[in-house]
Amino acid sequence: MTIRTRFAPSPTGMLHIGGVRTALFSWLYARRHNGTFILRVEDTDRERSTEAATQVILDGMQWLGLAADEGPFYQTRRMDRYREVIDEFLRTDRAYHCYCSKEELDAMRTRQQAAKQKPRYDGTCRHGREARPGVSPVVRFKNPLDGTVVVEDAIHGNVLFENTELDDLIIARSDGSPTYNFCVVVDDMDMKVTHVIRGDDHLNNTPRQINMLEALGAKLPVYAHVPMILGPDGAKLSKRHGAVSVLQYREDGYLPEALLNYLVRLGWSHGDQEIFSIEEMTQFFDIVDVNKSASAFNPDKLLWLNQQHIMRASPQRLAQFLKPQLAVLGIHTDDEAKLIAVARAQQERAKTLKEMAENSGFFFRDVDTYDAKAAQKNLTADARKALQALHGNLQAVAVWDKESIHGALQAQSTESGLALGKIAQPLRVAVSGTGVSPPIDITLEVLGRGETLKRLVRAIEWIDAAKPATAG
């Protein structure tokens, strides 16, 4: 039997990290077992579903690389099929029309709550209340009145529900449109889903779905209800931290594999391993190993993982993400070789691609201002001599590569008796405008000789211009 999993988001809000994690688990499980991963958009709520949210889901899944083997399917395009099943339920007496008004239902709920009971439909129409003219009825599923439903869950084990706790849920609204719990059942059956992996907020819905599945004579899928993700404060995930669109992470300079790595470790582990490639995840992940308890979202660890993945990624891959980040800063370049060289030089010192871009501007455009603190400390009269000498020494370097550059700096240090830092740091400020850059030899190599010498001259001029001001 081939494994078939699905991710079934509803386009009513943003695709946030909670949704992404259940998608990831479903995807990994399918990949691991050579199965099929299905994407199904649950858009039956026409009021709240939006085109934009659907697009975000699609874009997000694509960015993350969670490609669907089948779909995307849209529930709104399956209305005929739902109608067909509803009619069949009606015909075979497994569902009935209910004419109770919203007011009646509200009153019923209020009454039940006052009596400290669980609000549930009392079955007034179940045994055939006469049709009310002018009232379009809803359709309710006839839930079994007694017995126990056992949800066999791969994560939680067997969870028991008494049918007496359940009621006859609405499967079609008065306008004829089918409702969520019903559509899920029909879809999972039609799409032959073998493993339903979803948030554990759905655990309570499962017995109803099982009852409907059984009424349809369908084979039950394996259920796996994964725990929720909480905010860093342990409270429900809110906009403030993780409940933003996943695409926000792309904008903020996160690598998709880093986000996925972070998410896969929430509720799951493989020994002491923290860093996983996508391949390793698919190799090791198993749904039965997932924890039962909710976990809090930790932005610091995500940031750390992003840095670790940046360090491990190929410069070619990083260049591809660095380019749009530079564009955001107004730096447009098609020099792929330089992008790759910069990414290679920076990949050990950037927590995000955005940060990498911010620290790499000087590679692509002139330095017109110096960081005040760095300049005050390093662009001094003493440094001027070193920079002056450096200009000559670097001009004399035969081959412009980091080894030769390093050799020239070393030689100058030895000759002048100045510590390497006394030479390298002023040089760094001269070429980058700040006190921070990749190792100076690498920085110069990437920057090129011409640009280096130009900036050296400019820094010397700057010192000369600043001197009288400082002195006077």
Which residues are known to be catalytic? 239
Q: Which of these, 147, 97, 169, lies nearest to 127 by C-alpha position? A: 97
Q: Which of these, 238, 260, 259, lies nearest to 249 by C-alpha position? A: 259
**Shortest separation between residue 210's beta carbon and RNA, angstroms:** 13
Q: Where does this chain touch RNA (CB under 7 A) — which range of 66-74, 172-180, 277-285, 324-332? A: 172-180
Q: In whole angstroms, what is the distance from residue 287 CA to residue 410 CA?
A: 56
Based on CB atoms, which residue is closest to RNA, 48 or 467?
A: 48
Q: Where does this chain touch RNA (CB under 7 A) — which range of 22-30, 63-71, 227-235, 242-250? A: 227-235
Judged by CB under 7 A, the residue of 111, 219, 292, 373 near RNA is: 292
Q: In whole angstroms, what is the distance from residue 258 CA to residue 310 CA?
A: 8
Q: If binding is defined by CB under 7 A, does position 279 make contact with RNA?
A: no
Judged by CB under 7 A, the residue of 76, 248, 282, 308 near RNA is: 308
When computed from its CA atoms, the radius of gyration of the chain, rounded to whole angstroms, is 32
> Under 8 Å CB-to-CB from 411, ≥6 apart: which residues?
393
Taking the CB of residue 185, how many other CB atoms lie within 10 A of it? Answer: 25
Structure tokens that stand for 393 in this block = 């020494």
Based on CB atoms, which residue is closest to RNA, 2 or 416?
A: 416
**Shortest separation between residue 132's beta carbon and RNA, angstroms:** 10
* Cβ–Cβ under 8 Å, residues 263 and 17: yes
Based on CB atoms, which residue is closest to RNA, 113 or 470?
A: 113
Phi, psi torsion values for 198, nearest 5 degrees: -155, 175
Q: In whole angstroms, what is the distance from residue 51 CA to residue 49 CA?
A: 7
Interaction residues for RNA, span 378-417 (CB under 7 A) = 406
Q: Which amino acid is at 115?
A: A
Interaction residues for RNA, span 77-96 (CB under 7 A) = none
Q: Which residue has the tokens 């934009």?
A: 52
> Beta 138-141 vs 195-199: how paired, if at all?
unpaired
**Shortest separation between residue 88's beta carbon and RNA, angstroms:** 20
Q: If binding is defined by CB under 7 A, does position 236 make contact with RNA?
A: yes
Based on CB atoms, which residue is closest to RNA, 36 or 261?
A: 261
Q: Edge-to-edge, what's the strand order for the sheet holding 4-7?
A: 70-74, 36-41, 4-7, 195-199, 222-226, 148-153, 157-162
Q: If binding is defined by CB under 7 A, does position 200 make contact with RNA?
A: yes
**Shortest separation between residue 272's beta carbon and RNA, angstroms:** 4
Judged by CB under 7 A, the residue of 129, 202, 377, 449 near RNA is: 202
Q: If binding is defined by CB under 7 A, does position 354 make contact with RNA?
A: no
Mark residues 255-274: x for contact with RNA by CB under 7 A, - for none.
----------xxxxx-xx-x
Q: If binding is defined by CB under 7 A, does position 435 make contact with RNA?
A: yes
> Beta 157-162 vs 148-153: how paired, if at all?
antiparallel
Q: Which residue has the tokens 């400082």?
A: 470
Based on CB atoms, which residue is closest to RNA, 123 or 439?
A: 439
Judged by CB under 7 A, the residue of 161, 249, 364, 462 near RNA is: 161
Q: Where does this chain touch RNA (CB under 7 A) — which range of 122-130, 169-177, 280-288, 312-320? A: 169-177
Q: If binding is defined by CB under 7 A, does position 298 make contact with RNA?
A: yes
Based on CB atoms, which residue is closest to RNA, 36 or 153?
A: 153
* Cβ–Cβ under 8 Å, residues 326 and 333: yes
Q: If binding is defined by CB under 7 A, does position 201 make contact with RNA?
A: yes
